[in-house]
Amino acid sequence: MSFEAAGARAGGRRAGEPGQPIGTILRVARYAIHDGPGIRTTVFLKGCPLRCAWCHSPESQDAAPEFMPLPDRCIRCGSCTAACPHGVLPAALADSAAPAGCTTCAACTEACPTGARELVGHPMTVDALVALVERDRIFYDESGGGVTFSGGEPLLQPEFVLEAAADCRASGIHVAVDTCGHADPEALIAVAREVDLFLFDLKTVDEAAHRRFTGVSNDLILSNLERLATIHPRVIVRFPLIPGVNDADENVKEIGALLASFRLTRVDVLPYHRAGLAKYHRLHQPYGLEAIEPPSAAQVAGVVKRLESFGLIVGPS
């Protein structure tokens, strides 16, 4: 189905109509205050084309559901092993990720008495998600909030986001999308028609550095940002400030000059933190930036001042 057809269908679909897209949802965070204006419901979708070295949500990267064990909670009772209908979870792996042959049916997580195994990534229909979002309408109305689709990368599931955004917007709910920008341009343009605000991540202008630290080129990201700046009235750029990666004055100046050339006016500086470190340990994944310290307040202030010199409205977020 083309995105044009999906958009037309989104606008005219009746609740409960069969065949609606199903999204793979990482989690839904209610009462969020850092993902757009007001009090929001942030819908984190699973899957991301980037592998940022500083990513604080490694469990969001893989598009498929996966297990995140919490070994400290495991009491070695064997309930998960006994519950596995496929017989592929030996006791020795009870606190690990999914072994070969696992179908992520979640029988082990349901059987675990201590919550030592968590399945991240759940299917959800558009209707179910919109019903969940609408529960907090009173908070959106009073605070100027709404729903934010984030990830991972929400535009990896464009038909789901398009229909969900259209339904929310038709109900008078403010819609934001937080994107890394590495997305199909056609999907970006289609979704943009149903979005009130874009939060657009921009790490570095340097292509080689971007490829080194995220695993992909930034060519598509920069072209999508330029495209979005011409077709959408509300775009806030988010600049994650990573010491030793993208905090060099030259990169900051290049970002400021680029945003000014695109006639964008707002950029939020997001200081690096290590809040996701424990998740890497739980997923048995290496974390290459463990030795890096978060930037000081003075460093952040210096970057803010440099970006403001390009006429941008800048604020730590």
What's the pLDDT tens digit per position in 121-173? 999 999 999 999 999 999 999 999 999 999 999 999 999 999 999 999 999 99
pLDDT for 59 beyond 70: yes
Among 119, 136, 158, give the residue marking a domain's end: 119
pLDDT-based confidence at residue 87 (cuts at 50, 70, 90)? confident
Q: Are residues 229 and 195 in the same domain?
A: yes
Among 119, 137, 162, give the residue marking a domain's end: 119
Q: Are residues 265 and 201 in the same domain?
A: yes
User: What is the pLDDT at residue 290?
Assistant: 83
Q: Are residues 164 and 306 in the same domain?
A: yes
Peptide bond into 172 cis (omega under 30): no
Domain count, the chain: 2
Comparing 290 with 261, the larger pLDDT belongs to 261
pLDDT for 92 beyond 70: no
What's the length of the chain?
A: 317
Q: Are residues 169 and 212 in the same domain?
A: yes
Q: Are residues 272 and 138 in the same domain?
A: yes
Average pLDDT, the chain: 89
User: What is the pLDDT at residue 97?
Assistant: 61
| 174-201 pLDDT per residue, tens | 999 999 999 999 999 999 999 999 999 9
pLDDT-based confidence at residue 9 (cuts at 50, 70, 90)? very low
User: What is the pLDDT at residue 15?
Assistant: 46
Range of the domain at 238: 3-62+122-316
Q: Are residues 273 and 155 in the same domain?
A: yes
User: What is the pLDDT at residue 316?
Assistant: 63
Q: Are residues 35 and 75 in the same domain?
A: no
Q: Would residue 3 be called left, alpha or beta, if left means φ above 0 and alpha means ψ between -120 and 50 degrees?
A: alpha
Among 101, 119, 137, give the residue marking a domain's end: 119
Q: Are residues 228 and 245 in the same domain?
A: yes
User: What is the pLDDT at residue 156?
Assistant: 97
Q: Are residues 136 and 235 in the same domain?
A: yes
